[in-house]
Amino acid sequence: MNITFIGGGNMASAMIGGLLKQGWTAAALRVVEIDPGARSLLERNFGVKAFAEIGPGIEGSDCVVLAVKPQQLRGVARALGKQLASQLVVTIAAGIRCVDLSRWLGGCQRIVRVMPNTPALALAGIAGLYAMPPVTAEDRGRVEKILGAVGLTLWLEREEQMDAITAVSGSGPAYVFYFIEALQQAAAELGFSAEQSRLLARQTFSGAIALAAQSTEDAAVLRLRVTSKGGTTERALSSMEADRVKAAIVRAVRAAAERSRELGDEFGRD
């Protein structure tokens, strides 16, 4: 399968790097990128061909991955639609619904919408995937191979679930970094240096994630196991419960999902 990425930013670069590590050849991958400096960097870093224009870039491609900013997608899609043959189209532009993208592409419905997240840059992402009805099982397998190069995948039955995926895992890394920030601040206020605080917070978080990843038990069970009756952990968690921290996090994720729906309305306008 030959793949063309339209847009050569961080996520496209992560996917290209991941595919190369999985044994794909640079000859099977190409990029359309308007910035000449970015084109040179992509060719130098990955050995792929980078083009300034869509036409030559998608020639001979089986799959086109739209990796541009949401506000740029309408113009890119309209230009692409005039030159699209029968390629499978994958979009990672946040918020753009398939029906709107299909309209801009001139009626193409062989579209898979993807919501990746930034841990893909470390080949540790998770992506929500939704396919329009004309997408075949073979197409789905192709998309899984592409996104599987940078992490895990989760197929969604309804496109509306994309708003929740965006809120939970798309925006989720920022929530994690926010908690790490708080832990670092607490450590600093308790007398540790900035470097020590950073080490304590990051390693504690990564260690806890490692434990959760290797366990089949629910996070609540793991939490109870490290919460001794009358101990320090119980005191900290009681303080968080009194401040309704968990409820605030759930409320925040719901707010993110609502904003995702709003952006879909805004970006989808002609």
Q: What is the DSSP letter of 24?
A: -
Please tell me the predicted confidence (pLDDT) of residue 178. Answer: 97
Tens-place pLDDT, residues 138-166: 999 999 999 999 999 999 999 999 999 99
pLDDT of residue 127 exceeding 90, the answer is yes
Give the tens place of pLDDT for each residue, 73-104. Answer: 999 999 999 999 889 999 999 999 999 999 99
Answer yes or no: CATH 1.10.1060.10 is held by domain 172-262: no
Answer yes or no: is pLDDT of 194 > 90.
yes
Give this prediction's pTM.
Answer: 0.92
Tell me where in the chain the CATH 1.10.3730.10 domain(s) lie: 172-262
Q: For 31-79, what is each residue's pLDDT tens digit?
A: 999 999 999 999 999 999 999 999 999 999 999 999 999 999 999 999 9
55 Cα distance to chain centroid: 27
Q: Are 129 and 152 in contact (CB under 8 A)?
A: no
Per-residue pLDDT, averaged over 231-243, amounts to 97
What tokens appear for 80 in the block?
């692409």
Q: What is the structure's pLDDT at 269?
A: 83
Burial class (CB in 10 A: 0-12, 13-18, 19+), 263: middle
Quickly tell me which residue has 């994720």 as its tokens.
253
CA–CA dist 42, 218 (Å, integer): 42
Angle 212-216-220 from CA coordinates, rounded to 5°: 60
Q: Which pLDDT band holds residue 270 (cuts at 50, 70, 90)?
A: confident
Which pLDDT belongs to residue 97? 96
Give the model's pLDDT for residue 86.
87
What does the buried/exposed string (b/e) look like for 80-113 if buried means 16 or more CB atoms within 10 Å of the residue's CB?
Answer: bbeebeebbbbbbbbbbbbebbbbbbeebebbbb
Give the residue range(s) of CATH 3.40.50.720 domains in the chain: 3-157
Q: Check if the beta carbon of residue 98 is closer than 8 Å to that of residue 92.
A: no
User: 3-157: which CATH topology?
Assistant: Rossmann fold (3.40.50)
Q: Quickly state the pLDDT bin for 170 (edges 50, 70, 90).
A: very high
> Mean pLDDT throughout 230-241?
97
| Band (268; pLDDT cuts 50, 70, 90) | confident
